[in-house]
């Protein structure tokens, strides 16, 4: 527990009071349970902070009646309750303030709550009633564990705050942010595992989180296809076989268990046999190559129906023109193959499906951390062409 008058300031009294009040309000918004009181008086401003101490990892705490006592009450704890400061620690906190400091309250809370003032190793507390104090500390420790949650990365957060934050992310579908909020973990892209998520949010939200994770994995899978069975259409992930193997084309729907070829979408025809040309495509191409009035052309019309044949020819031409336009006006992502069209901006592209970074001019993969080095390599067609001249 920290109860101390605020350090006076050499600037104008009103300006100092305003800065102190602003610092207090900021701290109160971050640590509402720590900020107890903030009283102004003619002699100065008195603030009271009750700062619990977090021990990470758990440390052995021994309680003895005196330094000469040989009997100790010992327990492994992860938290200590707020306590009155000893004079030497009080002086260390006062020494953290300087005239050019923007604020010191947040630094005080971080210093005490992070147990930075304690020496490494076991902790010894001297109290006249060790057997009475230890159960109280253990009870507080249990309560603190319920109020806080320690993630797999060993960072500790308020259980209620994390529940609200993760729950909001899951409801909005932003599962990439369901992870440790510590800046180090955020920078590393750490995402929470199922064990951590199950301890923080409700069962319904855990179920939705699992579904969103599976959905994202499928969307990022460059080899994902949909089951060709009309009444199924379930997303089928890539196989485990090497891409050069014929078996890599085999897919089995997890829902209806239909086995098919990922290339031609027909019943599985084995790893060696080539994909058969679609029946309609084979006779349509033949029909279009035949001259008007040809006997074979008339046979096709009689067998399949003239209107059906005309409709299939129209569909074939439409597909052909679409493919030509896609080839001419877009570039395939080198990561997943999805076609990307650039409407404006530079030639450094990021695939919205698999997040692969690539060059729009040459189609090559480029570094995620240093993407612009690619446009400085002499000899490449995209050398010094980060932007198209016509777009500037």
The larger pLDDT score, comparing residue 247 to residue 239, is at 247
Token representation of residue 199 = 């301890």
Pick from 240, 231, 318, 312: which is nearest to 278 by CA?
312
Q: Phi and psi of 339, rounded to 5°?
A: -80, 135
Pick from 139, 136, 119: which is nearest to 55 by CA?
119
Q: Helix and strand tally (H, E) in the chain?
A: 11, 16
Q: Which of 158, 185, 264, 346 is catalytic?
A: 346
Whole-angstrom Cα distance, residue 48 to residue 105?
11
pLDDT the model gives residue 392: 45
pLDDT the model gives residue 308: 73
> Band of the pLDDT at 169, cuts 50, 70, 90?
very high
Bridge-based pairing state of the strands 35-41 and 2-5: unpaired
Poorest-confidence range of 29-43, 171-185, 280-294, 351-365?
A: 29-43
Angle between helix axes 159-172 and 130-147 (nearest 10 degrees) is 10
Whole-angstrom Cα distance, residue 228 to residue 265?
6
- The number of residues making up the chain comes to 392
Largest CA distance in the chain: 116
> 333 an active-site residue?
no
pLDDT the model gives residue 99: 60
pTM, two decimals, is 0.45
User: Mean pLDDT over residues 68-84, rounded?
Assistant: 77
Helices (H), the chain: 13-30, 87-94, 105-113, 130-147, 159-172, 183-188, 194-200, 203-220, 279-289, 295-304, 306-329
In the chain, the percentage of residues whose pLDDT exceeds 70 is: 88
Distance of CA 261 to the CA centre of its chain: 34
Contacts of 173 (CB under 8 A, 6+ apart): 212
> Band of the pLDDT at 241, cuts 50, 70, 90?
low
Whole-angstrom Cα distance, residue 355 to residue 338?
11
Give per-residue pLDDT as tens, 103-113. 788 888 888 88
pLDDT the model gives residue 242: 61
Token representation of residue 254 = 């997890």
In a 3-state reduction of DSSP, which class is residue 288?
helix
* Tokens 């900020």 sit on residue: 35
Whole-angstrom Cα distance, residue 358 to residue 2?
55
The larger pLDDT score, comparing residue 63 to residue 239, is at 63
- Inform me whether the pLDDT recorded for 11 exceeds 70: no
Classify residue 68 by burial, with Cβ atoms within 10 Å: 0-12, 13-18, 19+: exposed
CB-based contact 149:199 (threshold 8 Å): yes
């Amino acid at each position: 527990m920290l109860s101390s008058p605020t350090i006076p300031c050499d600037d104008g009294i009103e300006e100092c009071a305003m800065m102190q009040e602003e610092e207090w309000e900021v701290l109160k918004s971050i640590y509402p349970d720590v900020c107890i009181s903030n009283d102004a008086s003619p002699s100065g401003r008195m603030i009271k902070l009750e700062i619990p101490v977090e021990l990470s990892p758990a440390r052995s705490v021994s309680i003895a009646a005196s330094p000469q006592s040989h009997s100790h009450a010992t327990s492994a704890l992860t938290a200590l309750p707020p306590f009155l400061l000893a004079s030497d620690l009080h002086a260390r906190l006062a020494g953290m303030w300087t005239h050019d400091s923007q604020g010191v309250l947040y630094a005080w809370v971080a210093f005490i709550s992070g147990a930075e003032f304690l020496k490494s190793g076991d902790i010894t507390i001297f109290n006249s009633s060790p057997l009475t104090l230890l159960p109280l500390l253990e009870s507080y420790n249990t309560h603190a564990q319920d109020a806080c949650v320690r993630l797999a990365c060993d960072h500790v957060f308020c259980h209620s705050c994390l529940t609200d934050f993760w729950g909001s992310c899951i409801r909005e579908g932003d599962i990439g942010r369901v992870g440790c909020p510590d800046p180090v973990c955020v920078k590393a892209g750490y995402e929470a595992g199922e064990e951590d998520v199950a301890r923080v949010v409700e069962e319904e939200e855990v179920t939705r989180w699992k579904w969103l994770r599976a959905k994202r994995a499928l969307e990022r899978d460059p080899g994902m296809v949909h089951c060709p069975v009309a009444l199924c259409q379930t997303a089928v992930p890539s196989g485990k076989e090497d891409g050069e193997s014929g078996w890599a084309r085999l897919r089995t729907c997890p829902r209806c268990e239909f086995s098919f070829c990922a290339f031609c979408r027909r019943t599985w025809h084995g790893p060696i046999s080539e994909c058969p040309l679609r029946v309609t495509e084979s006779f349509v191409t033949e029909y279009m190559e035949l001259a008007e009035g040809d006997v074979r052309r008339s046979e096709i019309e009689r067998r399949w129906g003239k209107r059906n044949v005309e409709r299939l020819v129209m569909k074939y031409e439409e597909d052909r023109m679409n493919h030509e336009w896609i080839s001419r006006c877009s570039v395939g992502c080198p990561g997943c193959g999805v076609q990307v069209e650039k409407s404006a901006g530079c030639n450094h592209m990021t695939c919205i499906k698999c997040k692969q970074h690539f060059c729009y001019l040459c189609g090559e993969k480029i570094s995620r951390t240093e993407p612009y080095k690619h446009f400085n390599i002499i000899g490449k067609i995209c050398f010094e062409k980060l932007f198209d001249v016509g777009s500037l």
